[in-house]
Chains A and B, each alone.
Chain A
Amino acid sequence: MSRLLNWRAPALSLIVFLLMIGAWHVLTLPKLSQQTVNPEYAALVGAEAATGQKSAFPSPADVGGKIVEHLREPFYDRGPNDKGIGIQLGYSVARVLVGYLLAALVAIPVGFLIGMSPTVYRALDPYIQVLKPISPLAWMPLALFTLKDSSISAIFVIFICSLWPMLINTAFGVASVRREWLNVARTLEVGALRTAFRVILPAAAPTIMTGMRISIGIAWLVIVAAEMLVGGTGIGYFVWNEWNNLSITNILTAILAIGLVGMLLDLMLAKLTRLVTFPE
């Protein structure tokens, strides 16, 4: 029975995939009617598309071909506006990781402090409540003005958006460590530092990791928008650049790549979370 179920889900996935591709293919089939078109439009989208023989929206085959093309040479670099999709993704991942790790360096110790001390919690809570709902992109002009560097500004935006989930989850995890474990540490006369690292940290680790997983997801969402704004490099810039080139095929390829990288980042964090999770 379970073996039967084992292949059922992948089979269903495949059917859904084929249906989607099929529908996409049918909707982008060339139409046979002849149309008189604006020659400028024809020059822009291609004669075939302009005469209606071919849809302006790329077919699955077009996108597939493009993907193969990108995969064959993902890291080429032919000047500022013509870099391989691998290089662009690399820039984005690097920015996300730098901003994210900086945020972790700040959020986890501060969250620890907030979780340990109800006074600090109450003192900082109003700031957190006001700063948390601010869209990270709203910080962008301020970052550009003060940091005077677009790439660092993008990193700053990632830092700001990754900060809150980690901070709040760390504080919550630390504050809700079971009283009895702390009592065990107290009756064993364990020092504050040893209690923090040997009792509170492992006890709060699953909650902290959940915050880190939420953060990496948000950071990856935000980087695309941030790079569209700051330009230069990165997958967000790539998408915007291809929009200016009106290359829907490249945009679709990039969208797929963004999804896949986001999934990989989430999988990595999920794996790390499982490492620190303990069954009760």
Chain B
Amino acid sequence: MSEPLIRIEGISKKFTGRDGAATTVFDDLYFSIDPGEFVCLIGHSGCGKTTILNILSGLEQSSSGYVFVGGREVDGPSLDRAVIFQSHALMPWLTVMGNIAFAVSSRWPEWNREKVQVHSQQYIDLVSLTGSEKKRPAELSGGMKQRVGIARALSIQPKMLLMDEPFSALDALTRGVLQEEVLRICAETRQTVFMITHDVDEAILLADKIILMTNGPHAKIAETVVNTMPRSRTRHDLHKHPHYYRIRNHLIDFLVDRSKVFASDSPDYDPRHPPLVTPGLDPAAATLAPAGTPLVAVK
């Protein structure tokens, strides 16, 4: 196995409240991401998911611990790690082309206008927004705005993508379509992705590995679930695969019950090596909950 692209060693985050009391949101986290891997992080609100992503991007600093990217410690935001924001964060005074060209010319300041435009156009085409180049964000639907966000992140050809619940503000239909687009684009570009989500099905569809976090404060990485389904999965045949319900039940079981009582439940837990589990290969996992449990997105 090659050297991981991202290695996180013992990061924690403390916030000091107004009364001066410090709250530790998460504590002593260890995980790594290999090149070309799609990793999802799932956990309840308040376990510091967004903070972890911000630390990875360099926008925030951890209270302790280290983040290494390609063997080097992160000391601030970098063009190597593109962020797709939950709220898309497009600049409303720029057109679709302007938003992407701003990123492209930040990446390659020496490029002339024409080269920037040609390059930007490729990524507008990639996210199927051809024809909307001159529109402003206010004229776009939520799904189209997030497509621009994705195109902007990809256009700078980063080493990895960081996505902070990119589809949570979208309606279910748009979300499904965009998930497939992301799946297609990642397959085409072999992009390394770290994504935060609270949608179990989204994680199973997209991720190679799913990191499960316990509830905060003092949130921990409980375990890493390996997605044993083939990478060629699509939204349409996902639920027909025998591994699907095993993984899904395992995740929901964790989020509903185990995330709360994890600390008292696991006396021999080692934060440096959270267990790697493969519920998809375990036929017993499917019997934990009956198949056909209503699809729920756990928030």
Contact = CB atoms under 8 A, between A and B. Distances in A.
Q: Do A and B bind each other?
A: yes
Interface of A: 178, 180-181, 183-184, 186-190, 194, 198-199, 202-203, 205, 276, 278-280
B59 A183 contact: yes
B89 interface: yes
B89 A189 contact: no
Interface in B197-225: none
B231 to A, nearest CB: 28
A184 B59 contact: no
B93 A280 contact: no
A202 B93 contact: yes
A278 B78 contact: no
22 contacts: A180-B85, A180-B87, A180-B89, A181-B89, A183-B59, A183-B83, A184-B83, A184-B85, A184-B89, A184-B91, A186-B59, A187-B59, A187-B81, A188-B156, A189-B77, A194-B106, A199-B91, A202-B94, A205-B93, A278-B92, A278-B93, A279-B92
Contacts of A180: 85, 87, 89
Contacts of A205: 93
B289 interface: no
A198 B105 CA distance: 12
B102 interface: yes
Interface in B136-182: 136, 138, 156
Contact of A183 (B85, B92, B93): B85
Contacts of B93: 202-203, 205, 276, 278
B106 A190 contact: yes
B92 A188 contact: no
Contacts of B77: 183, 186-189
Interface of B: 57-59, 76-79, 81-83, 85, 87, 89, 91-94, 102-103, 106-107, 136, 138, 156
Nearest to B106: A188
B92 to A, nearest CB: 4
**Dominant secondary structure at the B interface:** loop
A280 B137 CA distance: 8
B92 A187 contact: no
Contact of A202 (B57, B59, B85, B91): B91
Nearest to B79: A189
B156 A203 contact: no
Nearest to A206: B93
A249 B17 CA distance: 69
Contact of B102 (A186, A187, A189, A198): A198
A168 to B, nearest CB: 22
Contacts of B138: 278-280
Q: Which 9 A-B pairs have the closest CB atoms?
A: A279-B138, A180-B89, A188-B106, A278-B93, A278-B92, A186-B77, A187-B77, A202-B93, A187-B83
Contacts of A202: 91, 93-94
Contacts of B76: 186
Q: Which of A181, A186, A187, A276 has the most CB of B within 10 A?
A: A187
Contacts of A187: 57-59, 77-79, 81-83
A176 to B, nearest CB: 14
Given A189-B106, A280-B138, 12 more contacts: A184-B91, A186-B77, A187-B78, A188-B77, A188-B102, A188-B103, A188-B156, A189-B77, A189-B79, A203-B93, A276-B93, A279-B138
Contacts of B136: 278-279
Given A278-B138, A279-B138, A280-B138, A188 B79 contact: yes
A203 B93 CA distance: 8
Contacts of B94: 202
Nearest to A276: B93
